[in-house]
Amino acid sequence: MKLSEKKATLSFSDGSNPVEFPVYQGTVGPDVVDIRKLYGQTGMFTYDPGFMSTASCESAITYIDGDKGQLLYRGYPIEQLAVNCDFMETSYLLLNGELPNAAQKADFNHQVTYHTMVNEQMQFFLRGFRRDAHPMAIMTGLVGAMAAFYHDSTDITNPEHRHISAIRLIAKMPTLVAMTYKYSQGQPFIYPQNDLSYTGNFLRMMFATPCEDYKVNDVVERALDRIFILHADHEQNASTSTVRLCGSSGTNPFAAIAAGVACLWGPAHGGANEACLNMLEQIQANGGIAKVGEFMEQVKDKESGVRLMGFGHRVYKNYDPRAKLMQETCKEVLTALGLENDPLFKLAMELERIALEDPYFVERKLYPNVDFYSGIVQRAIGIPTSLFTAIFALARTVGWVAQWNEMISDPAYKIGRPRQLFTGDTARDVVEIAKR
Ligand code: ACO
């Protein structure tokens, strides 16, 4: 980061001395006021719950311009990556800062491919779960459990160890998600097959059975690969910040990523695609397109507590660029699978049409986010709704790992330790139980 000539001055109405703070510039995006010395100089903290105005770190990985609806991975627009690159190239880019050449890509593919198997013991963890357990509950457990297996790479200060952990995480997530699915179906686990692509291999582990050959459908493979690319990173979102905070204590990388999985589960974050599809199904069951108007009235009524899932974003105050790409993919997949008349897709298009014209949404700059169409694509592919967030976790793992690695590699990194504005009781004496 570059020190700006500009400085920020904080003055107080009680006449105490103003304090000056340095301002830093990034390559693009808002400048930041460096308030690290605020407490030392004034005895005050800043107050910003929800991080509305706070940059929690310096990062060179992903940039979002929410007003323009722009998303860049290492400077490359998501629209170009989604069309010209596959998920493995995108992963290499996020981890290393540059797109791979052909030899680098082949080598990276090889490394990932040869780490896709998980220790056989992982099956026993799975068997401890109820068959109807939520996949994200299982994934949180399985990813955390992986911390127990790799004693050869636990020194997070060693870049080689961090690299091998990154490869293992990216490689094994599809295997774990597919095992979670197979377990819920009571079907045998399918082992990875090394002559398939990352995404083709995942589809086979999900949908093949030992009874017959499985042929990967090209359109479905491309669509899922695109879903992975679009979800691969999204700068300092809640789950990534969770991974950074958890990892900042120096914990095992699998444990830090398990924390990210847990955070992603929530409906305001990764759980939104599941919630969005459930919402579409519910509107469909209650009368479909004819009832859309009624549903929108509920959404606009603050008392109802109903939100239009898949709409709105903390950062994007314009169309989420991923939503456009996802809508394209959605059309492609539905056509390829002969589902052009899918009623949920029609319903989603109608909701979007109304929302983009309705002053409630226009005034609040609420646009479709990536989750609005991704659920319809996944459902068409045959992925059950409850597994959507696990697919998101699979794709986001590379982003989490890249951000974790960036943090640990920074010589200036510190354990994350937010402060608070305390409003509870001040010191008081414990009264013995009989007198309370
Ligand atoms: N439906 C109806 N109203 C909404 C919606 C929505 N989906 N999203 C925001 N609003 C309204 C709020 O009620 C609020 O109105 P007000 O100013 O009158 O009080 C205003 O828009 C601003 O919303 P906030 O909740 O303050 O915005 P915030 O940045 O905190 O929330 C969030 C962003 C959580 C994504 C929100 O838009 C939401 O809940 N969306 C639905 C869930 C969703 O799709 N999440 C996916 C996020 S993307 C991802 O994780 C991949």
pLDDT tens-digit readout, 208-250: 999 999 999 999 999 999 999 999 999 999 999 999 999 999 9
C-alpha to C-alpha distance for 390 and 270, rounded to whole angstroms: 9
Q: What is each CA distance from 330 to 14, 198, 255, 302, 344, in whole angstroms?
A: 59, 21, 34, 31, 11
Closest ligand 1 atom, residue 237 Cα:
50
C-alpha to C-alpha distance for 125 and 417, rounded to whole angstroms: 33
Residue 344 Cβ contacting ligand 1 at under 6 Å? no
Residue 33 Cβ contacting ligand 1 at under 6 Å? no
Query: Residue 152's pLDDT is what?
Result: 82
Asked if pLDDT for residue 87 goes beyond 90, the answer is yes
**In angstroms, what is the span from residue 289 Cα to ligand 1's centroid?**
23
Query: Residue 148's pLDDT is what?
Result: 94
**In angstroms, what is the span from residue 311 Cα to ligand 1's centroid?**
7
User: Residues 124-136: pLDDT tens digits?
Assistant: 999 999 999 999 9
Q: What is the band of 412 on the pLDDT scale with cuts at 50, 70, 90? A: confident
Residue 239 Cβ contacting ligand 1 at under 6 Å? no
Residue 138 Cβ contacting ligand 1 at under 6 Å? no
Residue 307 Cβ contacting ligand 1 at under 6 Å? yes
- For the sheet with 62-65, list strands across it: 62-65, 70-73, 76-77
Kindly state the percentage of the chain with pLDDT values over 70.
Answer: 100
Closest ligand 1 atom, residue 392 Cα:
51
Residue 371 Cβ contacting ligand 1 at under 6 Å? yes
DSSP 3-state percent helix, strand, coil across the chain (nearest 5): 55, 5, 40
Residue 272 Cβ contacting ligand 1 at under 6 Å? yes
Q: What is the band of 154 on the pLDDT scale with cuts at 50, 70, 90? A: confident
Q: Provide the token pair at 396.
A: 């986001």
User: Residues 183-214: pLDDT tens digits?
Assistant: 999 999 999 999 999 999 999 999 999 999 99
Asked if pLDDT for residue 25 goes beyond 90, the answer is yes
Q: What is the band of 268 on the pLDDT scale with cuts at 50, 70, 90? A: confident
What is the pLDDT of the chain when averaged over all its residues? Answer: 95
Mean pLDDT score, 45-69? 95
The residues assigned a catalytic role are: 313, 371
Mutate to test the pocket of ligand 1, among 71, 356, 369, 391 (most ligand atoms within 8 A of CB): 369
Q: What is each CA distance from 95 to 79, 104, 110, in whole angstroms?
A: 19, 13, 16
Q: What is the band of 123 on the pLDDT scale with cuts at 50, 70, 90? A: very high
Q: Which residue minimizes the CA distance to atom 22 of ligand 1? A: 364
Mean pLDDT score, 337-348? 89
Residue 368 Cβ contacting ligand 1 at under 6 Å? no
Residue 277 Cβ contacting ligand 1 at under 6 Å? no
- Strand pairing partners for 77? 72
Closest ligand 1 atom, residue 238 Cα:
50
Query: Residue 251's pLDDT is what?
Result: 95
Q: Are 344 and 277 in contact (CB under 8 A)?
A: yes
**In angstroms, what is the span from residue 408 Cα to ligand 1's centroid?**
32
**In angstroms, what is the span from residue 313 Cα to ligand 1's centroid?**
6
Residue 112: HSE in the Cβ half-sphere, 13 Å Cα cutoff: 27
Q: Which residue minimizes the CA distance to atom 41 of ligand 1? A: 309
Mean pLDDT score, 77-88? 97
Query: Residue 269's pLDDT is what?
Result: 86
Residue 317 Cβ contacting ligand 1 at under 6 Å? no
Query: Residue 349's pLDDT is what?
Result: 87
Closest ligand 1 atom, residue 310 Cα:
44
Residue 279 Cβ contacting ligand 1 at under 6 Å? no
Structure letter (DSSP) for residue 101: -
**In angstroms, what is the span from residue 310 Cα to ligand 1's centroid?**
9
Q: Which residue minimizes the CA distance to atom 50 of ligand 1? A: 269
Asked if pLDDT for residue 35 goes beyond 90, the answer is yes
Asked if pLDDT for residue 138 goes beyond 90, the answer is yes
Closest ligand 1 atom, residue 302 Cα:
13
Query: Residue 234's pLDDT is what?
Result: 96
Asked if pLDDT for residue 158 goes beyond 90, the answer is yes
**In angstroms, what is the span from residue 179 Cα to ligand 1's centroid?**
33
Q: Provide the token pair at 76.
A: 């490359």
The segment with the largest mean pLDDT, out of 93-97, 285-289, 305-309, is: 93-97
Asked if pLDDT for residue 153 goes beyond 90, the answer is no
Closest ligand 1 atom, residue 311 Cα:
7
Q: Residues near 226 by Cβ (< 8 Å), separated by ≥ 6?
A: 82, 325, 326, 329
Closest ligand 1 atom, residue 234 Cα:
51
Asked if pLDDT for residue 318 goes beyond 90, the answer is no
Query: Residue 371's pLDDT is what?
Result: 86
Residue 271 Cβ contacting ligand 1 at under 6 Å? no
Query: Residue 338's pLDDT is what?
Result: 92
Q: What is each CA distance from 211 to 66, 128, 196, 207, 217, in whole angstroms?
A: 49, 26, 19, 12, 18
